[in-house]
Structure 1
């Protein structure tokens, strides 16, 4: 293998980030782009996806848009094939699309359970399989699945969400078991509690924030840009022998009791 001057650089590589029109997904797209990657922005709303892509281009980021619903298998396959044909290889996949639903487990609505499973777990399978088939042919690729501290820990009212993220952790290991032989590295990035618009209610809840800051060794909420270094590492050649792992970026939350 040729010596790389900076194995953390992603120049010349294309990354598809699902659910990247806002929040964590959008920040990860920016982080990968700052490391040299060109990015494909994804969401279900075609117009919103195009608008976000245009905003990134104004920031000097090489970006394209691809609107599809990760829960729709045939739609995913068609979109991935079209991207490969139109733009070239997808060398980095970040499975970020996900939703949250909260309710006590004994009253949790079955339709919300199904919605969580379709998006948070089935979506990861559909997109990964569609992209990996091309990666297998090339004998190279990076897959980063977005897990959570709930891949490891449970909290009241979000048991089904925790079940999806625990499953993502094991699916990541399964991807390693099946696809490492083809030069694919599949790992999970598991955020702790980060300040995002989707978490605004929790951030503004003084009682919850006080509990979280006391529970987290770092003593604070995370800032979304703090996820980017770990994502760049997992997407880069520096992580070529890292496979099937879950990297918790949580201020130490999962390390202490």
Structure 2
């Protein structure tokens, strides 16, 4: 019960890493709000783990405000925020990625962190404590070709995490990030372009431990960084990547 008595919002909780994190947080005693643009997926996950849910578009200010408002109305405070929702564009030469895809990647991966901070940081400051976890990527550290604008968005997340950590530390708020390698999530096919045994083998050849990351891997790291065990840890971008960035 490492999060007993804590309240937590997890975005992108309807599947993949977000679902794994939400399950682990609930199992460890937290009251969880599972948010996802796919409201049905968020509801199904919430019913499974005994959590609240919210159909939330993290790239839309009004939607994020409603999500935060629902959490504050229910709990009176927000102890933990996990900015997990994210998307990518299909692999392509940088100059061939459409403006629409570029805008969507930046809105979901970048603007969402601004929007959640705008709505939730004031409540954390008022409480004098809080933990924010941003899900970045190894792509922000060691970029893969043909995913240029996705790489750039995740590099922004890492820099934003460090900037947030420095600014919010005097208010008792810790901010960290996780850098996963590609995992068994709905985004895997988009990263690879096509899901074939040959493409999987090519990806796995770049990961020294020889496997993709799993929702459980991410959940275990998130549990640590969002728990009181990590009370002296802020501004860290922890790689959960099987050695990919060595």
Q: Given the two structures, how large is their TM-score scaled by the length of structure 2?
A: 0.93
Q: Does 1:192 align with 2:181?
A: yes
Report the alpha carbon displacement of residue 114 of structure 1 after superposing the two structures with TM: 0.8
Equivalent residue in structure 1 for 2:78, among 90, 94, 99: 90
Match of 1:46 in 2: 39
Distance 1:47 1:208, change over 3 A: closer
Instruction: Report the RMSD for the aligned CA atoms in angstroms.
Output: 1.7
Ranges in structure 2 where 5+ consecutive residues have no aligned partner:
none
Kept after mapping to 2: 8 A contact 1:93/1:128 = no
Match of 2:205 in 1: 214
Match of 1:254 in 2: 245
Kept after mapping to 2: 8 A contact 1:15/1:40 = yes
Which is greater in Rg? 1
Q: Deviations over 1:67-92 (max 9, x none)?
A: 22111113312331232022331101
Q: How many residues are aligned here?
A: 243
Match of 2:65 in 1: 77
Q: Does 1:14 align with 2:7?
A: yes
Kept after mapping to 1: 8 A contact 2:26/2:49 = no
Q: Given the two structures, how large is their TM-score scaled by the length of structure 1?
A: 0.89
Kept after mapping to 2: 8 A contact 1:212/1:220 = no
Report the alpha carbon displacement of residue 115 of structure 1 after superposing the two structures with TM: 0.8
Ranges in structure 1 where 5+ consecutive residues have no aligned partner:
1-7, 58-62
Distance 1:197 1:68 in 2: 18
Report the alpha carbon displacement of residue 197 of structure 1 after superposing the two structures with TM: 3.3
SS for the counterpart of 2:245 is: helix
Matches within 5 A, 1:141-180: 141-180=130-169
